[in-house]
Amino acid sequence: MYLTREEEKMLKGEMGYAKQVAMEILLALGEIYGAEKMVLIKSAQISGVSYMNLGEAGVEWLEELSTDGKVEVYTTLNPAGMDIERWREMSISREFAEKQIRITNAYTKMGIHLTLTCTPYLAGNKPSLGDHIAWAESSAVVYANSVIGARTNREGGPSALASALTGRTPYYGLHITENRAYSLRINVPNLRDEYDFALLGYISGKLCKGRIPMFSRVESANQVELKALGAALASTGGIAMFHVEGLTPEYMLPPQDRVEEIDIEEGDLKNAAEELNDNVEPDLIFIGCPHASLEELIMVMQRLRDRIVKKEMWICVSRSIKGLAEELGIYQKLERLGVKIVCDTCPIVAPISSLGVKSIATNSAKGVWYSRNLNKVKVKIARLTDLIEEAVR
Ligand code: F3S
């Protein structure tokens, strides 16, 4: 693999320990995937922040890198295992909180912004069409590639951090234009809202088998809907990019040589909803997977119609969306009605089973998928309107 003089210096340790480790990681990755060279990146998004996922070894590794590591590009962070300010209200143990704070301190020392969100594009890290970036967090990766038209592979926490520390990533996969073309056309039924888009993503992910899909016959789609579609697609199919005909920035790219065509019917959406429903009474109703936008907070407020929430209900957001909501009085109103606006985390990366949560309800197919398969809690997927009616009952 070709390395510039600066990259060679990093590899030899002439620019410090952290950059040397980072360049070793990137070189190994580039060689595995047959990259010819590195490409400079505009930003990084790092996953692997919750102590629940990192454990003691992860904390120590980050602290070691932070002794001389400094990031070269604008870098943001995925959610942690707790709300950094309200962890006591979440019944998080002091021991967990202390470990979590060691992790965020190490990242801060490296110059990384504590955005603690899976929607960096709603929190100031918004690349432009054609920018090379190195993002971890599957839902953010698929959104960046598909909706923004920036270019990133599905990085893991260590490779995204390595890219942040060096300002580079190996040039392969979705950084190359030809690899961004679709080879599966999916004709979709009428889609009403983000719930339908999430179900569509859930079904399609299973059908894609690694292929980039082109969704056809979508009349319109807003940011919330595309966010839900991509997150589900990335969860069930590991997909990092999709196109929507007539809507997303690169839908005009010529397709791959062979294109398969599949129809998804309304009945398939209903079947998917049944599959994602354990018919439980939820301990926690949760909105914001991926983290909610201001628009979603407004949707909840409008549907609540001043009624008090009687069940535990969280909306997970980034701190910047919370700030905007505070300025507009939306935050205060929702909290007055009994909704908890939770920042920096979500019920998937926080230790919710130790908080006594055994079942959750959400409108997110990704949220349901991981809650069931990773956290082993019972799940229920429902439209936002139905979740709210359940919350006020
Ligand atoms: Fe974000 Fe947690 Fe969902 S990190 S995408 S809210 S699983």
Closest CA to 358 of 336, 375, 373: 375
Which atom of ligand 1 lies closest to the CA of 79?
A: 4
Residue range 127-145: mean pLDDT, rounded: 98
The pLDDT of residue 274 is: 98
- Which of 83, 348, 362 for a ligand 1 pocket mutation test, highest count of atoms within 8 Å of Cβ? 348
The pLDDT of residue 89 is: 85
The pLDDT of residue 363 is: 97
DSSP 176: S
Residue range 354-380: mean pLDDT, rounded: 94
pLDDT tens, position by position, 175-211: 999 999 999 999 999 999 999 999 999 999 999 999 9
- Is 366 near ligand 1, meaning CB less than 6 Å away? yes
The pLDDT of residue 142 is: 98
**Over 80: is that where the pLDDT of 354 sits?**
no
- Is 227 near ligand 1, meaning CB less than 6 Å away? no
pLDDT tens, position by position, 294-317: 999 999 999 999 999 999 999 999
Q: Closest Cα to atom 3, ligand 1: which residue?
A: 289
Q: How far is the CA of 95 from the centre of ligand 1 (A)?
A: 23
- Is 289 near ligand 1, meaning CB less than 6 Å away? yes
The pLDDT of residue 322 is: 97
pLDDT tens, position by position, 151-184: 999 999 999 999 999 999 999 999 999 999 999 9
- Is 23 near ligand 1, meaning CB less than 6 Å away? no
What is the distance, to the nearest Å, from the Cα of residue 165 to the centroid of all Cα atoms in its chain? 21
The pLDDT of residue 289 is: 98
Residue range 17-40: mean pLDDT, rounded: 98
**Over 80: is that where the pLDDT of 373 sits?**
yes
Least confident piece of the model among 87-96, 138-147, 237-246, 357-366? 87-96
Q: What is the Cα–Cα distance from 355 to 346, expressed in whole angstroms?
A: 13
Q: Which residue has the tokens 């599966």?
A: 184
Q: Which residue has the tokens 């005009």?
A: 252
Q: Which amino acid is at 28?
A: A
Residues 195, 225: contact at Cβ < 8 Å? no
DSSP 64: H
Mean of the per-residue pLDDT values of the chain: 97
Q: What is the Cα–Cα distance from 174 to 145, expressed in whole angstroms?
A: 8
- Is 141 near ligand 1, meaning CB less than 6 Å away? no
Q: How far is the CA of 140 from the centre of ligand 1 (A)?
A: 10
- Is 231 near ligand 1, meaning CB less than 6 Å away? yes
- Is 346 near ligand 1, meaning CB less than 6 Å away? yes
The pLDDT of residue 102 is: 97
Q: How far is the CA of 353 from the centre of ligand 1 (A)?
A: 16
- Is 121 near ligand 1, meaning CB less than 6 Å away? no
Q: Closest Cα to atom 5, ligand 1: which residue?
A: 290
Q: How far is the CA of 180 from the centre of ligand 1 (A)?
A: 25
Q: What band does 90 get if pLDDT is binned at 50, 70 and 90?
A: confident
- Phi and psi for 358 in degrees, rounded to 5? -115, -15
- Phi and psi for 286 in degrees, rounded to 5? -135, 125
Which atom of ligand 1 lies closest to the CA of 78?
A: 4
The pLDDT of residue 331 is: 98
Q: Closest Cα to atom 6, ligand 1: which residue?
A: 289
In the chain, pLDDT over 90 holds for what percent of residues? 96
Residue range 20-32: mean pLDDT, rounded: 98
Q: What does pTM read for this prediction?
A: 0.97
Which atom of ligand 1 lies closest to the CA of 119?
A: 1
3 state DSSP class of 78: coil
Number of Cβ within 10 Å of residue 308's Cβ equals 11
Q: Closest Cα to atom 7, ligand 1: which residue?
A: 348
- Is 345 near ligand 1, meaning CB less than 6 Å away? no
Residues in Cβ contact with 175 at an 8 Å cutoff, skipping those fewer than 6 apart = 39, 132, 151, 152, 153, 169
Q: What band does 352 get if pLDDT is binned at 50, 70 and 90?
A: confident
